[in-house]
Structure 1
Amino acid sequence: MVAGTVEPEFRGPRRRLVEALQDKGIKDLALLRAIDTVPRHLFVPSTVRHRAYEDSALPIGSGQTISQPYVHARSVEQLMLTGQEKVLEIGTGSAYQTALLSHLAAQVFSVERYRELLDKARPILQQANVRNVSLSLGDGTLGWREYAPYDGIVVSAGAPHVPQALEDQLAEGGRLLIPIGDKEEQMLTLFTKRAGRLERRDITPVRFVPLIGAQGWPG
């Protein structure tokens, strides 16, 4: 879990963000509590920290971004987590979503392709007192087979299709959330595994950075 250690000057902006997300239709109370607790300003560069609680995407380096809070909330809400699940995250990035997931699942396993981002994420997660997250440097399109199967998988980059490795590592009844499309625009898509097959439901158009890897876009 993440401790609620938040500088007082950020309490108001974070509460206004939570209210804005509620106004946009986010209903999961546990998720809203997590957003109200996790110090998003720790997960963005100091140069844009004053914008940490805006509902907008921000650059984090290595050509990557921290997604708009609404996109994070809409994505995580689709997993319908109860606190008992084991979740795989593909694309640690800023680690803000990782921290949110740590509130909502029993265990989180997160894979990041860029060492620079992972090296930044580790101390920030420690500062935020996250204890139930394991991080790995590697090709996210291959998942993290050692700890499979996963009750939930969330992919934070756009893919041309569902990587077979991720389908294989999803538990029966589990949910896989991934942006599917081309490099410019994708459809945020929820897949549920039933009887060994993936049932698809389209959520909303999105624009993510490409999912690079052996079972994604070529690097």
Structure 2
Amino acid sequence: MHPDFLLSDKIKLNGSKLELNNKVNSQSYKVLILPGQTVISLKALQKIKTYYDKGGIVIATSLLPSKAAELTGNDKTALTNDRKVQAIIKEMFGIDAAKPMPDGVSPVKSNKMNGKTIFIRKPSGDLLNETLEKLNIDADVSFENNPSPLSGGGMFSYLHKQKDKKDIYYFANSSDDAIETFAEVRGKIIPELWNPANGETTSIKEVAYSKKDGQVYTRFPLKLSPVTSLFVVSALKNE
């Protein structure tokens, strides 16, 4: 999310979660991933720190910020803001952002509210997955064998929204490769396939349910031809 969006009233802190509530849809975030950057909004970082203080999880990658983005017109104030950024980063990650970044993956740092931070110097898909597992974060959506297009002409991606008490998943394949896999989503749903090209809706067969650590998951087959997309829609099931 954009820092300005993070600072808006649309994003609320609810314990260890960040919540987006508006008239269109609601979303809840258990983890905040901070991309590599030298400059960050001090106000945004202060809100991230509050989220961490309340038990939130923050994963930072590549480069920790050391300078504040706020334009002050005063060198002394700008330097003070930079030092505030560095102090917050030091408290959250135990790393001096003004110095060269440490290699590898930092130890998990925790606070009294069970907030956690970790820094990954050279992130990759596998390393992020391992980190999420280490932090006991269950994936909202996962795919069998983690399909990845090889043509280089696009990507396989998804979005998950909730509206009118329905789960809405949008799967898109912008590559020149066909995608055939099984998707597993958190929660028990009764999925239905919606074709955005012609408006047809069909039921999905081979749906299976499983329970892991008290959480129910729904598994179903997913096939996308090159450069196609589809929706999977279901009423919410609180199990």
Q: TM-score if structure 1 supplies the norm length?
A: 0.31
Which of the pair has more CA radius of gyration? 2
Highest RCO, 1 vs 2 (Cα 8 Å, sep ≥ 6): 1
Q: TM-score if structure 2 supplies the norm length?
A: 0.29
